Structure 1
């Protein structure tokens, strides 16, 4: 792995473990046993590292939430998207936990974030329409954007909400899974009989794995 990539991955690990605001470039350099000067050869400051992590996150986000093409079993599709939510929230948990603060201090990153989220919302609406066509959900077209926005809001703010409610608690996989269960609960009232069966299977799977 190239030094630049090592720096980014080390920063992600440390930010997740200790919080981004508590980690300096010196911490990152020491973690991978390079000099601060070597780190500054690749990145002028910590904010540039955060931007690189955001690039990795946004690429994975759009890839995971690009509507699946071709015939797929509906339960497989639901599980894929639910697993993607968990993976992203856990892998980039520092970003979800401190999103407003991170964006407020970097206008360019904030602009990039908005562009990515606009693209994501289009994909999410198309995914939701696919579930309606599969007769898993009953959602009128004019309600689609509102439902997607609610789910998106839970995903983006869940970890920050948990941190605010329990400031001394540590973000764990179980905390992330609780956010997933909250999203399932939001969708349940829109589910058809078939959709409810599959949502309950997914719910049981989340509870069993992350209990």
Structure 2
């Protein structure tokens, strides 16, 4: 049976996604759950506590993926699949990514983790770029900061694609997520070797017809 805390988080996430974090009150969450505000406050004293719990629920999967990077082999197809998985996870918690700046200001613990996770994602991207270079799929970078700037662009796109989606009211479905994953993967194309381009074209043949 689902625990009360889990029910609260699931319903809160649904309401936050639908209406935005700032538009949802503890009372609204309690009404949706058919419980009193006092009963809800027993589990989460304020709305910010729910935000914090949802954030760490969301990033547990991201953190695990970063922590296990060194245990995986990578092809461009695997990279794309990982991107799609991350993007879908972001959609499941879209309220956070569409109001990222404001929500990070509300909770110091969340902001501290996010800043650390951001640097970990940069480092993870650099690890991936180095792996693909050693595998012969990427050319050697020509100047010291070239790979750093590419990693930062990839992480920045990963942080903001969902905000842009909501800004321009695009419909999110599997096809759209696939397109956004391809957009992110395409950042690698100018750095691919002939072997890498061959693998890329095999993965995305429609782009070359």
* TM range, smaller chain: 0.7 to 0.9
**1:160 is the counterpart of 2:163:** yes
CA contact (8 A) 1:10 1:32 kept: yes
Shift of 1:176: 4.1
Q: 1:24 to 1:200 in 2, by over 3 A?
A: farther
Q: 1:2 to 1:123 in 2, by over 3 A?
A: same
Question: 1:53-202 to 2 correspondence within 5 Å?
Answer: 53-65=54-66, 66-69=68-71, 72=73, 74-140=75-141, 142-164=145-167, 166=168, 169=169, 172-173=172-173, 174-202=175-203
Q: 1:201 to 1:55 in 2, by over 3 A?
A: farther
Q: 1:87 to 1:112 in 2, by over 3 A?
A: same
Instruction: Supply the distance in 2 between the matched residues of 1:136 and 1:28 (Cα, whole angstroms).
Output: 49
Shift of 1:7: 1.0
- Give ranges in structure 2 of 5+ residues lacking alignment: none
Shift of 1:68: 4.8
**Mean CA deviation greater in 2-11 or 85-94:** 85-94
Instruction: Supply the distance in 2 between the matched residues of 1:20 and 1:200 (Cα, whole angstroms).
Output: 41
Shift of 1:17: 2.3
With normalisation by structure 2, the TM-score equals 0.83
CA contact (8 A) 2:5 2:43 kept: yes
CA contact (8 A) 2:132 2:138 kept: yes
| Paired residues, number | 201
Shift of 1:110: 1.4
Q: Which has the larger radius of gyration?
A: 2
Alignment deviations for residues 137-176 of structure 1 (CA, whole Å, 9 cap, x no partner):
2242642221110010011112223333x3xx26523554
Alignment deviations for residues 90-109 of structure 1 (CA, whole Å, 9 cap, x no partner):
22221111101111233332
Partner-residue secondary structure (3-state), 2:69: coil
Instruction: Supply the distance in 2 between the matched residues of 1:2 and 1:193 (Cα, whole angstroms).
Output: 53
Query: In the alignment, which residue of structure 2 is the partner of 1:2?
Result: 3
| Bigger RCO (CA 8 Å, 6+ sep) | 2
Question: Cα RMSD over matched residues?
Answer: 2.4
